[in-house]
Amino acid sequence: MSLYLFYSFVASGILNFICSILILRSMANAGFKVSFFEIRWQVHRHLKQYRDICNKNNGKTAWPYYAYQASLAGMIGFASLTLVSLGAQPN
């Protein structure tokens, strides 16, 4: 069970990374200065601006915004469930 939870954590992390790149590419195309070296901090800094730009251009928020939020919550949830399941197993 722990292995499946860990795989889910890794899959959520990969989805989060892909969404981060998509968000930062959109921000760079919109004219904002984006440093891909600090990708984790840049996404959090530009997330609200990304949502506002998408709402202004398309009238709705794009899917990477919601997928980023969901995968971040999934990473936290799967990491905690993995650690709990590892602690619950008998030696």
Angle formed at CA 21 by CA 17 and CA 42, multiple of 5 degrees: 90
Question: Which residues have C-beta within 8 Å of that of residue 81, sequence separation ≥ 6?
Answer: 5
- Pair of tokens at residue 47: 């997330």
Structural domains in the chain (count): 1
Predicted confidence pLDDT, tens digits, the chain (91 residues): 889 999 999 999 999 999 999 999 999 999 988 887 777 788 888 899 999 999 999 899 999 999 999 999 999 999 999 999 988 766 5
Q: State whether residue 65 is helix, strand or coil.
A: helix
Residue identified by tokens 């709990």 is: 84
- Enclosing domain of residue 29: 2-88
